[in-house]
């Protein structure tokens, strides 16, 4: 391919609990060599829990990037070797205290393709059964229920700011409207 970019080298700068920062040396189609920074991430899964009344079960939790509590759909990072479906199912129960045997894949996307290779898979859970919330030791989560149309209005009012939540809810709305 004429416009092929080739990775010549990868240097790890930082290795944290959840992410790595690397600098890739790339050879551009012109022959010029450049360096690009990249945050590598194992991936994540998120889930839209829909109760019997059609309410979406949301979680509100502290997010350091926002330095505030943020309303989101339940989500979490993939454990080593874990499939996104299993991660979504696990996070549903851990964060909300509900479980489901009726989980459907909706879509997947790069969370911020310009700076990270993280891919988030989105699922929808219906026919929820009450279980037990089992939060990680560093999580403080409150549960809130909303109608989908109210959440869509919150997106356009700037009240929902989490990308995965916005993307997931809009895709789910389109799916339902078809």
DSSP 53-81: TSEEEEEEEEETTTTEEEEE--EEEPPTT
DSSP 67-122: TEEEEE--EEEPPTT--HHHHHHHHHHHHHSEE-SEEEEEEEEESSTTTB--EEEE
95 a catalytic residue:
no
Q: How far apart are the first and last CA of the chain?
A: 39
Annotated active-site residue in 33, 72, 137, 144: 137
Positions annotated as catalytic residues are: 137
């Amino acid at each position: 391919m004429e416009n092929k970019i080739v990775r010549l080298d990868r240097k790890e700068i930082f290795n944290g609990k959840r992410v790595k920062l690397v600098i890739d040396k790339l050879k551009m189609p012109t022959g010029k060599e450049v360096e690009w920074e990249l945050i590598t991430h194992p991936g994540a899964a998120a889930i839209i829990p829909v109760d019997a009344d059609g309410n979406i079960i949301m979680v509100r939790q502290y997010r350091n990037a926002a330095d505030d509590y943020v309303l989101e759909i339940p989500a979490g990072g993939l454990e080593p070797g874990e499939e996104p479906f299993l991660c979504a199912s696990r996070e549903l129960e851990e964060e909300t205290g509900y479980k489901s045997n009726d989980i459907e894949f909706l879509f997947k996307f790069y969370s911020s393709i310009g700076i990270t290779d993280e891919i988030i898979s989105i699922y929808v859970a219906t026919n929820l059964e009450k279980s037990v919330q089992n939060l990680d030791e560093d999580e403080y989560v409150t549960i809130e229920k909303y109608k989908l149309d109210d959440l869509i209005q919150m997106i356009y009012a700037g009240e929902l700011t989490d990308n995965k939540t916005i993307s997931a809810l809009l895709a789910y709305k389109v799916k339902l409207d078809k």
